[in-house]
Structure 1
Amino acid sequence: MHTVIVYESMYGNTREIAEAIAAGIHEAAPDAAVDCIPVAEADAGLARTADLLVVGGPTHMRGMSSGLSRRMAATAEAKKEGHEDAAREAASTAEGPGLRTWFHDLPKAGAGTHAAAFDTRADMRMSGGAAEGIAQRLSRHYYDVVAEPEGFVVEEADGPLRAGELDRARAWGAGLV
């Protein structure tokens, strides 16, 4: 089994969740090949090789990020004292393609290709989530979405992840196989 995890991450939280999902898949299926790749490095050819495609990103303005929301997040992070590493990661992500752009180049899936969607989000009223939009785009590309879209909680807009979320992500990843 070959799993490809494609993620977009501004502050490292979504990357940490993607890596925990990969670890969970390895725990459940030790012989599985798992590629965990930032969206800027994910090409359509690699997605084609997947038996399971897992896609995730941060929630911006109640949904998937956009070029504008990524630039706004990077600008806000750059103004915070002591957040130099997060500011560099945010700036790098803001300059590259996001999931919306990546989906334009994603080929239609063959029969029986499974997929799942996740996001990171704040736990506040009306914060929304990106996972549902990601799952809809996967479905439109004829992927068989095998799990309900899942949201993982960050304490603030730029993190950290809520306690226990990495364990929950590992368990969710294991449940995908």
Structure 2
Amino acid sequence: MRVAIVYESLFGNTSQVAAAIADGVRESRPDAEIECLRVDEATPERVGAADLLVVGGPTHMRGMTSGLSRKMGLQAEQKEGEKDQAKPRHEPEEGAEGPGVRDWFRGLSKTGNGARAAAFDTRADFRLAGGAAHAIARRLRSHGYQLITEPEGFIIEDTEGPLREGELDRAKAWAAGLVTE
């Protein structure tokens, strides 16, 4: 089984979840070939060869990120760090300024074979926070993918993180369920 996990991450939370998903797949299916790819690495060739495509990203403005929301988030974190030196600073992850999941979908080929997929996001846990996973799932379906489970959200404690305690274990368990037949 070949699994491609494609993710966008700004401050490292979503990449941690993607890595936990890879670990969960590996524990459940040791024979699986797993590629954990940032969106800028996820070429159509690499993704097209997968038996299961898992796509995730952070939630911005109650949905998937955009070029504007990523830029605003990175600028806000920089200003906050300059203003309050005592507050722990969240450094942007490598590639954070690059394309996001929304942009990546524009280059994703449609599949005609009903390939399997799943969607996840990272999100805050407060009323009206929204989530990106349902929009990611809609995009996957519109590209011909068959969703094998409901979209899943993993909780961060603050706007930039960290992840809530136990979320990485929950991501591993969720991933194991994706490949258990």
TM range (shorter): over 0.9
- Inter-partner Cα distance in structure 2 for 1:5 and 1:156: 24
Partner-residue secondary structure (3-state), 1:128: coil
Q: 2:4, 2:34 within 8 Å by CA — same for their partners in 1?
A: yes
Q: What is the match of residue 157 of structure 1?
A: 159
Q: What is the match of residue 176 of structure 2?
A: 174
Partner-residue secondary structure (3-state), 2:37: strand
Q: 2:114, 2:144 within 8 Å by CA — same for their partners in 1?
A: no
1:127 is aligned, of 126, 129, 133, to: 129
User: How many residue pairs were aligned?
Assistant: 173
Deviation at 1:76, TM superposition (A): 1.3
Residue correspondence of structure 1 range 27-176 to structure 2 within 5 A? 27-79=27-79, 80=81, 81=85, 82-83=88-89, 86-89=90-93, 92-93=95-96, 95-176=97-178
Structure number with greater Rg is 2
Q: Which amino acid aligns with 1:158?
A: E
- Inter-partner Cα distance in structure 1 for 2:161 and 2:172: 18
Partner-residue secondary structure (3-state), 1:87: coil
Partner-residue secondary structure (3-state), 1:125: coil
- Inter-partner Cα distance in structure 2 for 1:10 and 1:89: 5
Q: Which amino acid aligns with 1:89?
A: E
Q: What is the match of residue 21 of structure 1?
A: 21
- Inter-partner Cα distance in structure 2 for 1:100 and 1:13: 18
TM-score by length of 1: 0.94
Q: 2:60, 2:69 within 8 Å by CA — same for their partners in 1?
A: yes
Unaligned runs of 5+ in 1: none
Deviation at 1:77, TM superposition (A): 1.5
Q: CA RMSD in A?
A: 1.1
- Inter-partner Cα distance in structure 2 for 1:34 and 1:43: 15
- Inter-partner Cα distance in structure 2 for 1:108 and 1:122: 31
Partner-residue secondary structure (3-state), 1:158: coil
Which protein has the bigger helix share?
Answer: 1
Q: Deviations over 1:69-112 (max 9, x none)?
A: 000111112221442xx33427x41x211111110110112314
Q: Which amino acid aligns with 1:176?
A: L
Unaligned runs of 5+ in 2: none
Partner-residue secondary structure (3-state), 1:173: helix
Identity within the alignment, % = 58
Structure 1 residue runs of 4 or more that deviate by more than 3 Å after TM superposition: none
Q: Deviations over 1:39-60 (max 9, x none)?
A: 1111111110010000000000
TM-score by length of 2: 0.92
